[in-house]
Structure 1
Amino acid sequence: MTLTAADFPVELSPGTWDVLRGDFPLLIDGKFVSSASGAAGVTHDPATGAALADFALGDAVDVDLAVRAAHKAFGGPWSKLSHFERARLLRKLADLFEANTQVLAELEVIDNGMPMWLAGLTARNNAELFHYYAGWAERIEGTTTTPPAHVLAAGEALTYTLREPVGVVGQIVPWNVPLSMACLKLAPALAAGCTVVLKPAEETPLSAVVLGRLIMEAGFPEGVVNIVNGDGATAGAALVKHPLVSKISFTGSTEVGKLIVRECADDLKKVSLELGGKSPVIVFPDADMAKAVPGVAMATFFLQGQNCMAGTRIFVHADIYDELLEGMAAFAGSMKIGHGLHADTMIGPLISAKQKARVMSFVEEAKAGPARVVAGGKAPEGPGHFVEPTIVADTTPDMRVVREEIFGPVMAVQRFEGDDLDAIAAMANDSDFGLSGSVWTQDLSTAHKMAARVRSGHVSVNTHGAVGANIPFGGFKQSGWGREFGREGLDLYLETKAVTVAL
C-alpha cells in the first residue's frame, strides 16, 4: 500500500512515515508475527477515505497463543520482579511515550479522526498514566489484623493480608480514543503484576502496534503484554471465553457488555465494564454564561460526541433557556470542521460511514418535530464521515434523541422551571445510564446538593468530564461495573488473600 504526502493535508513527521511504511503485525510472546490464518484488514483515514495500512487480523488461534504466552509469563520471571522493578519498567515506558508523543498523536488523528490538539493532549496524558501507576506499583501492601478468637485460644497467632495480581487479563478497547483506552487498562494491570492480552478495535489498529513496540523497547519480559488485533465476533469472543483468562476488562457499548457478562458467568471470570452514557448537564439561571456557553457545547461536541461521557442531555432553566441556546448555536456554527491534522480543526470526522448514517438517523428524526434543530443538522458534502455539530431544542423525555446514546455531535436540550432540586434531579436521572454529568451554577450550596443528587459515577461543577489519572471514573446503572483511574483502577487487578499463622 503506497501513501504519499498528497494523501494528507499537513506533512507528517518522519517518525510517522517510518511507522506507516512498516508492518502492522500481532505481538505474541515477545515476537511480532502475522496472524496464524494470514488474514489481514485495512484501516482508513475517516477524514478522506484513504487506505492507510494493512494490518494482521487475528482470530481464536492467535488469541489462544497469546493467552498461553501470558499464562506462561505470569508464572515466569515477571512474577519474580519486585514492585520497584515493575515501577521502573512503567517509568521507562512513560519516558518512551513522551519521546514519541508527536508520532503517536499523528497516528491517532489519521486512524481515528480526532483533532490534533486532542490527540496531542491524550498522548501526553498516557505518559502521565504510566508514571502515576508506577507510583502505585511501589505501594501495593497488605495489612495485619487480629487473628480469630478460636485460634488465639490455643496460643499466639498472626493474621495478615496479601495483595496479589489477579492473573491473565483480557482487555478489549474501543475505537473512540484507542491509545488512551489501551493505556488506562494496561498501566494498572501491569502495576498490579498481571499479564495481559489486549484486543484493540479493528477500526483503529495503528497506535496499538506502536504501543507494542514501545513495551518491548522498555524491557518488559516476553509474554507479559500481547496484542491481538481482530474483530469482536472472533478475537474478542475467543478472549472472553478462554479458560486461562482470569479477568475481562471491557470498554464499549452496553449491549456488548451484557453479552460479555453472560459469557463470563460460566466460569465466573472477574469482569469490569465501562459502558454507554447519556450524561445530564444541568444549567441553573445564575450560571456564568461566558463559561457555560462554550463549556456546555463542548460537553457534547468534544471528540465529535464520540465519547461515553458526552453531556448530550442538556437541562436549562427557563430564565436563561433562549440565551444559552442562542450562544451555543453561535458557538456550534463557529467550530471548524475538517481533517484533524489542521491545527484549527475542532470537529473531525466520525469513525465510519456506518456511524455517520446512524447519527444522521437521529438528526432526521428530530427534524420531523415537535423538537426543532437550531444549529447544524447536516452532513457536509465531499469525502469523509463528517456531521455538523447539531443542537436539537425543545426536546421531551420520551424522544429517541434523548433516550439513546448517539455517539455523535448531537445535543438534546430541555427546559425546566422552578428551584425544586429533587424534581430537577429526577429529570436528570431519568435514564438507563449514569456515567457522567455536570452542574453549572455560581451557588456553592446548589452545586454540592445537585452533585449529590445526580446518579452518575462522575459529576463536575462548572466544567464537564474532569477526568485524570488520579480520579476514579466509572458508571452507575447500565453504564458499567467498577472504576478505572485512581487507586480504584489498581484494585480491579488485585486479589486479597488473608493468611493466619498459629505460632
Structure 2
Amino acid sequence: MYENYGLFIDGQWREARDKRVIAVIDPATEERIGVVPHAGPQDLDEALRAAADAASSWAATPGWERSKLLRRISDDLRQRVEAAAAMMVRECGKPLAEAKGEFLAAIDQFDWYADEARRIFGHTLAGRDGGTKLTVQYRPVGPVAAFTAWNFPALLPARKIAAALAAGCTVVLKPSEETPSSAFVFADAARKAGLPDGVLNVVTGEPAEISRHLIASPVIRKVSLTGSVPVGKLIMKLCADGLKRLSLELGGHAPVLVFADADPVAAAKACAAAKFRNSGQVCISPSRFYVHASIHAPFAAAMAESAKALRLGSGLDPQTTCGPMINARGRERVESLVADAVSHGAKVLAGGARPSEFNRGFFYQPTVLDMVPEATRVMREEPFGPIAPIASFESFDEAIGRANATPFGLAGYVFSSSLSTANRAADALDVGMVGVNDMMLASAEIPFGGVKESGFGREGGQLGILDYLEARYVKMRHT
C-alpha cells in the first residue's frame, strides 16, 4: 500500500537508515495493510538539515511564486481524490463518502492559502516628525515542526502545511503512524508541483521520540500540534526550553444546548449526524447534550432512532454509514465510559455494546444514553467515540453553567428559533467556535481553534497564516 512512499526528506523518498518499520492496521479487519518507516535520529537530523538549508531561499521566494506552487499542488491533489480517499478508509475506517469529503476539504486549504500567500500585509505609520517613517513587516517565523493526529489524516496536515508554505516557512511534518497515507500524497503532489527540495519533509515513527528530537533542535522555530490535551501539555513543556513559538489544537468536549423553542426532532437528527461522524472520533464532535425539559423526551427518542438506523461496516462498503473505531484501546475506553454512566443511573436508549455481527474490527454500536448525571465520566472527559449522553435543564443560566463547567473550550452548539436566545447563548459559551442551528463548523475560510485546555492559535482563514509569521518593526529617518 505504501510501496511508492516512505520518509520524504530533501525531495526524495527513502526508507529509514536502520531499516526499521511500523505496521499499519485496518481497524475494520484488524489486518496489516502495510508498513511505514520508523525514523531514527539520523533520519530526523537529515530532515532538519534539509529544512534548514531550504529556509532562506523559500522565505525569500515572492508570495506570488509561493501562491503558484500551492495552486499547482491543489490542482494535482484534485486528480487523486478517489485513490487517496480509499487509502484513508483502509487506515482509519471512516465511510468512503466521509473520506472523500475530508480530502476535498484538505484541498480547499491549499487553495485558500494559495491566495493568502499574496496577501501578507504589513502597515506603515506616520512618524512623530516629518523625517521618520514607521513600518511593520511580516516575515516567516522559520522552520516548523508539525504533528498531527490520526482522525482527520488529510485535513489536519493540510491546515499546517498549506499555511506554513504560504507564509514562507519550511516544514518537517510528522503525521500519525496509524494513518500516514494522506501526508505521503501531499508530499508527492508537492514534489510534482516543483516545490524546492527540503521545503516539505515528512517523517514517520514513534511519536515521543520524534517530537523530542525535532523540538530540541535549534533549527525548529515554531511547533504546531493537533492532538490530545495531555500530549499538548507535554509538547508545551518541550517547547519551553527553546522558547519555541507554539500553536495547539487539542481535545474538546462540545456542549449542545437545545432550548425550548427548538424543533426537538430536527435538532436530534442534526445532532446524531454530527455525533456519529467518524464514529464520534472528532475533536469538535457534539458530546454533551443539554435539552430543555419541555422537549427532552421527543429529542431523546429521535436521537435514539437515528442512532439505531446507522449501518456499521467497512468504510469501503457504500451501505456503511458508521465505521469502526481506530483501535482496541479507544473502544475499551468507550466501554468503560458507558459502564460508568449506567452505574450512575443513566439509561441506554440505543447501542451500548459491541455489535454481535462482527467478530473482527474495532466496532462499537452508536450509543445514546439518557438521564446522564453530571458527575459521570462521560460528562467530564472527552469521550472521542460513538456515545451521545443526554441530560435535561430548566433555565438558561443552568444550561450555560453546566456547558462551561469543563476545562475544555473548543466548540459548542446552540439550537433555538429565537434570535435573542441564540445570540445570548453564543456569547455566553466559553469556546473558540459556536454553531447555531448548524453543526458543520470546519471550512478553509474560518479560524479553527479553541480556548482553555483546548489550546491556542488558529488554523484556517485570514488568521491562520499569522501563526507562521513574525512582525518586524522598522523606524527609518530620512537623511
Provide TM-score, normalisation by structure 1: 0.93
Alignment partner, residue 14 of structure 1: none
Alignment partner, residue 55 of structure 2: 74
C-alpha distance in structure 2 between counterparts of 1:170 and 1:42, whole Å: 23
Measured against aligned partners, the alpha-carbon deviations of 1:169-207 in whole angstroms (never above 9, x if no partner) come to 000000001111100111111100000000011111222
Query: Percent identity at matched positions?
Result: 39
C-alpha distance in structure 2 between counterparts of 1:70 and 1:254, whole Å: 28
Tell me if the contact between 1:97 and 1:126 (Cα under 8 Å) persists in the aligned partners: no
Measured against aligned partners, the alpha-carbon deviations of 1:132-189 in whole angstroms (never above 9, x if no partner) come to 1111111112110123x4xx3xx61111111100000000000001111100111111
C-alpha distance in structure 2 between counterparts of 1:127 and 1:35, whole Å: 29
Alignment partner, residue 374 of structure 2: 397
C-alpha distance in structure 2 between counterparts of 1:136 and 1:484, whole Å: 13
**Aligned counterpart for 2:389 among listed residues 406, 412, 417:** 412
Measured against aligned partners, the alpha-carbon deviations of 1:17-72 in whole angstroms (never above 9, x if no partner) come to xxx27243100111111112211011111101121112111133222211111011
**Aligned counterpart for 2:184 among listed residues 209, 234, 245:** 209
* 1:193 to 2:168 alignment: yes
**Aligned counterpart for 2:143 among listed residues 149, 158, 168:** 168
Alignment partner, residue 343 of structure 2: 368
C-alpha distance in structure 1 between counterparts of 2:318 and 2:184, whole Å: 26
Per-residue deviation at 1:423? 2.9
Q: Secondary structure, in 3 states, of the residue corresponding to 2:223?
A: strand
Structure 1 segments (4+ residues) deviating >6 Å: none
Instruction: Give the 5 Å matches for 1:209-358.
Output: 209-358=184-333
Q: Which runs of no fewer than 5 residues in structure 1 stay unpaired?
A: 1-19
C-alpha distance in structure 2 between counterparts of 1:365 and 1:231, whole Å: 32
C-alpha distance in structure 2 between counterparts of 1:423 and 1:366, whole Å: 21
Alignment partner, residue 30 of structure 1: 11
C-alpha distance in structure 1 between counterparts of 2:368 and 2:407, whole Å: 22
Measured against aligned partners, the alpha-carbon deviations of 1:388-432 in whole angstroms (never above 9, x if no partner) come to 1111111122111110012101111111013xx333211111111
C-alpha distance in structure 1 between counterparts of 2:197 and 2:272, whole Å: 46
* 1:489 to 2:464 alignment: yes
Q: What amino acid is the match of 1:112? A: C
Structure 1 residues 465 and 476, CA, compared in 2 at 3 Å: closer, same or farther?
farther
* 1:87 to 2:64 alignment: no
**Aligned counterpart for 1:61 among listed residues 27, 42, 46:** 42
Number of residue-to-residue matches in the alignment: 476
315-324 or 291-300, larger mean C-alpha shift: 291-300
* 1:444 to 2:425 alignment: no
Per-residue deviation at 1:476? 1.2
C-alpha distance in structure 2 between counterparts of 1:323 and 1:358, whole Å: 29
Provide TM-score, normalisation by structure 2: 0.97
Tell me if the contact between 1:173 and 1:199 (Cα under 8 Å) persists in the aligned partners: yes
C-alpha distance in structure 2 between counterparts of 1:429 and 1:312, whole Å: 13
**Aligned counterpart for 1:386 among listed residues 356, 363, 366:** 363
Q: Secondary structure, in 3 states, of the residue corresponding to 2:218?
A: coil
Alignment partner, residue 13 of structure 1: none
Per-residue deviation at 1:344? 2.4
Instruction: Give the 5 Å matches for 1:411-490.
Output: 411-418=388-395, 421-490=396-465
C-alpha distance in structure 2 between counterparts of 1:306 and 1:111, whole Å: 14
C-alpha distance in structure 2 between counterparts of 1:478 and 1:414, whole Å: 24
CA-based RMSD: 1.2
C-alpha distance in structure 2 between counterparts of 1:59 and 1:202, whole Å: 14
Q: Secondary structure, in 3 states, of the residue corresponding to 2:291?
A: strand
Q: Which runs of no fewer than 5 residues in structure 2 stay unpaired?
A: none
Q: What amino acid is the match of 2:229? A: T
Q: Secondary structure, in 3 states, of the residue corresponding to 1:276?
A: coil
